[in-house]
Amino acid sequence: MDPYETNIRKYCASLSRVARAPDFFDRSYGQFTGNSVDVPERYHNKDIPRINNKLKITLEMLSDNSGGEPGLGMYLELLGKVHACMHISTEHFTLWRKALIATAAECDPDFDSETQASGEGVSNELIAGMQEHERPPNDGTSRFVQ
């Protein structure tokens, strides 16, 4: 098993444990919005339960596709395009990664430095996968931006 696959398995095991906590996603969102001035404004009047559900689905897809199946790549491509249209910056992704890992550390009794390193590595790969598929918004090819 290669190191990346080991990281995915370790981090996904942690996320599986914490995702069962009823307040994990709300706490993660709270961490995320509490670390930036513009993040709360960006998510004002948004359907937070729906956003939390999409995050849960994304984490489940990560876990289900940890072996490198093509489904995750296609999903990351879609997420990259959606986030580009929403003008989500690298800084926002970094804040999200830190919030998710910090919340996992709070909620997972088995969280340790290896889990943290795994989470950072996997999250960075996810973010890179999304950003790889970004395209400039309003380029005339997106269904998401009118």
Q: What is the pLDDT of residues 95-130, one digit of tens each?
A: 888 999 999 999 999 999 999 998 888 888 778 877
> What is the total count of domains within the chain?
1
Q: Does the residue 142 lie in any domain?
A: no
Please report, for the domain that includes residue 125, its CATH number.
1.10.490.10
Q: Identify the domain containing residue 11 by its residue range.
A: 3-132
Q: Does the residue 80 lie in any domain?
A: yes
Q: Does the residue 137 lie in any domain?
A: no
Q: Does the residue 8 lie in any domain?
A: yes
Handedness of CA 94, 22, 122, 72 (dihedral sign): negative
- Phi-psi domain of 126 (left: phi exceeds 0; alpha: psi -120 through 50; beta: other): alpha
Residue scoring higher pLDDT (66 or 46): 46
d(CA 79, CA 91) in angstroms, rounded, equals: 16
Question: Could you read off the pLDDT of 66-91 as tens digits, one per residue?
Answer: 556 667 778 878 888 888 887 888 88
Q: Does the residue 11 lie in any domain?
A: yes
- Is-contact 43 50, C-beta < 8 A? no
Q: Does the residue 138 lie in any domain?
A: no
Q: Does the residue 140 lie in any domain?
A: no
Q: Does the residue 56 lie in any domain?
A: yes
